[in-house]
Structure 1
Amino acid sequence: MELSFTDPVGPADGPLLILGPSLGTSTILWESVAPALAAAHRVIAWDLPGHGASSPAVESFSVADLADAVAAAARDAGSGSIRYAGVSLGGAVGLELLLRHPALVERAAILCSGAVIGSPSAWRERAAKVRAESTSALIVASAQRWFAPGSIARHPDLTGRLLHTLQNADDESYARCCEALAEYDVRAHLREIDAPVLAVWGEHDQVTPESSAAEISDGVRDGRSVRMPAASHLAPVDAPAEVSALLDHFLTERSR
């Protein structure tokens, strides 16, 4: 599997920070947050198969496969360790990275995500809907689910571009992401994670609410959860300044 990564931003000798996307979005999800994080990190972001600049998927894959592809890219970049932050599906990839590549990941922020997300039947139904009707059929529901009240009015350009990204995603690749999430469940393995983990939840998020973040922070050995006011499922869009400050503190606190 080949994923597309942005060019690094930030000091060439800074620790590598990899930013992961939510389903239906692209690297632009992080564009209001990445510049602040690049003050102390060499920052790159990646796209899911068939999203943004990544090629469409040609076969089925799992969330673990996505984690392996991210780990391989980090090692190809010459990094022996990384820091990671991901939203929703990108957060699930972060948990799989922590489990499958523990020596690689120093610490990870898991935003608006969970050790399991939704139900297998719901994900399979969405995959079937997209194959039958395309991702365009998801635009209205996604706008309601992704953004906190007033966020579209506050950030019209970015929210509009993200919805266009969803519309332009490859339908089959999106459906295969849904099927990967239908099989994803790492709840029984959280206690195996030693690295520090920050679980962030948005107060308006109905997809992965406080209970999802608490399950992560309580399940890992070194975890904490934080509520993000005025945010829904895409916290870096709803509350970019607050997310930037929170992640900068968490990612660098033991390096200061």
Structure 2
Amino acid sequence: MDRFFAQGTLNAAVSGEGPALFLFHSLLSDRASFDAIAPQLSRTHRVIVPELPGFGGSKAVSGGLAAVADRMAEAVSEAGGRDAIVLGNGYGGFVALQMATRHPDIASKLILADCGAAFSEPGREAFRTMAAVSKAKGLAAITDVAMRRLFAPEFQAAHPDLMRDRREAFLKTDPEVLQGACAQLAELDLRPQLSGVKMPVLVLVGEHDEATPPPMSHELAALLPNARLKILTGCAHVPQLQAPQDFLDAIADFLK
């Protein structure tokens, strides 16, 4: 069931009953990246899977990642209050983390999967390149790069139907939204604000993640006051799609 939040600006799929659990998708994917885990999570939680601002049916915002975080904070406050749990993957994790730095009491817990607080210079340059190439040649020109950042080549070869679906979803992304997000991530450094995030945080990362490599998650967990880190063996940037049961097992105790 789809619903609109944040004064009608944010489209989200809602299922289940119980404490609110938000799932924020990555930049190179969409909310369907949670389809493999949402049904099980909805047995114990009210699962809310939004299309982040500028994606799908959700209205874009001006003002960069901070404005995206504020829009999502409005939705979390409306639908879940302080008892809500927010899980973000990739870009969704950066949004969730920035939301928590700007709104410290916005949720009871965070799960940050395959993100970090700041990129290395090579990581920043990768975003600048993706933005420049997509602007000059279109999204099709960076689709292979985008898929490699999400999934290891071996996984892609073994799951052709899934990869076809993921490529089609990526090509529906608004190029200007993607380019703006790339520019924001290329400059982002949330490390000075992390000491203010007091809520419990579970940091997850796929051991083969090339988009947000494990050292970023190690740094993030070390700088947060109340965080634990789990490495997901054999996974890349979207572990909930690659190994859904392993992902669910990794977060199960933290959700209780």
Normalised by the size of structure 1, how large is the TM-score? 0.89
Where does residue 8 of structure 1 map in the other structure?
A: 14
Worse overlay, 114-123 or 36-45 = 114-123
Name which structure has the greater RCO, CA cutoff 8 Å, separation 6+: 1
Where does residue 169 of structure 2 map in the other structure?
A: 165
Q: Work out whether 1:134 is the aligned partner of 2:126.
A: no
Pick one of 116, 119, 124 that aligns with 2:118: 116
Question: What displacement does 1:48 show?
Answer: 3.0
Pick one of 72, 96, 99 that aligns with 2:98: 96
CA RMSD for the aligned pairs?
Answer: 2.0
SS at match of 1:36: helix
Question: What displacement does 1:155 show?
Answer: 4.0
Instruction: Give yes or no for contact 2:197–2:224 (8 Å, CA) kept in 1.
Output: yes
Where does residue 214 of structure 2 map in the other structure?
A: 210
Question: Unaligned regions of 5+ residues in structure 1, if any?
Answer: none
Instruction: Give yes or no for contact 1:3–1:48 (8 Å, CA) kept in 2.
Output: no
SS at match of 2:109: strand
What aligned pairs does 1:226-241 form with structure 2 within 5 A after superposition? 226-241=230-245
Whichever residue aligns with residue 14 of structure 2, its letter is P
SS at match of 1:8: strand
SS at match of 1:116: coil
Q: Work out whether 1:189 is the aligned partner of 2:193.
A: yes
Whichever residue aligns with residue 241 of structure 2, its letter is V
Worse overlay, 190-199 or 149-158 = 149-158
Pick one of 175, 181, 193 that aligns with 2:179: 175
Question: Unaligned regions of 5+ residues in structure 2, if any?
Answer: 1-5
Over residues 114-164 of structure 1, what are the superposed CA-to-partner deviations in whole Å (9 max), with x where a residue is unaligned? Answer: 101354444233222211111111111122221135323554433322211
Q: Work out whether 1:224 is the aligned partner of 2:232.
A: no
Pick one of 38, 43, 56 that aligns with 1:39: 43
Instruction: Give yes or no for contact 2:24–2:88 (8 Å, CA) kept in 1.
Output: yes
Normalised by the size of structure 2, how large is the TM-score? 0.89
Over the matched positions of the two proteins, sequence identity in percent amounts to: 31
